[in-house]
Amino acid sequence: MSFDLAIQGEDRFIRVAVTGLPSIGQLLSLIHLLGVESETWEQDKVLVDLRAVETEFTREEQFRIGEDAAASLSHMDRIASLVPTERITRVSEKAARRNGANVCVFDDEQAAIAWLLQD
């Protein structure tokens, strides 16, 4: 399985875009790497665009994604996850929030950015 990653600094947040077919193991590894990398970012808000991820994850895998996001990225002030409408389950969001990360899932980019930039 292959995937691509793009990290772009915006004015007040970081944009992370994942595309392709990552396995669950690859996505979890990516989350851990982002946790390390984000320690050096000036911004403490991140938009994770997953709309071009073709892999479909089970509810258990979504839960694990949320747990790992909380473990690796809880130092971030806000994490907006952007997914296609049909993939919104809130499983990863609830798992991340229960474990201390301020995560919210969106299907609209402008809504996600507006939430990220709230004071």
Count of CB atoms within 10 A of residue 43's CB?
A: 16
* Whether the predicted pLDDT of 1 surpasses 90: no
* Whether the predicted pLDDT of 63 surpasses 90: yes
Instruction: Output the DSSP codes for 23-68.
Output: -HHHHHHHHHHHHHHGGG-S--EEEEEEEEE-PPPPHHHHHHHHHH
Q: How confident is the model at residue 24 (pLDDT cuts 50, 70, 90)?
A: very high
Compute the average pLDDT of residues 97-106.
96
* Cβ–Cβ under 8 Å, residues 33 and 2: no
In this prediction, residue 73 carries a pLDDT of 96
In this prediction, residue 119 carries a pLDDT of 75
Q: What is the overall mean pLDDT for the chain? A: 96
Dihedral pair phi/psi, residue 36, rounded to 5° = -70, -50
Residue 96: beta bridge partners?
Answer: none
Task: Provide CB contacts within 8 A for 101, sequence distance 6+.
Answer: 66, 69, 70, 73, 74, 76, 79
Q: How confident is the model at residue 87 (pLDDT cuts 50, 70, 90)?
A: very high
Q: What is the pTM of this model?
A: 0.94
- DSSP, collapsed to helix, strand or coil, labels residue 41 as coil
- Which residue has 């997914």 as its token pair? 83
Task: Please name the residue ranges forming H helices in 38-74.
Answer: 59-73
d(CA 47, CA 79): 6
Between strands 45-53 and 78-82, the pairing is: parallel
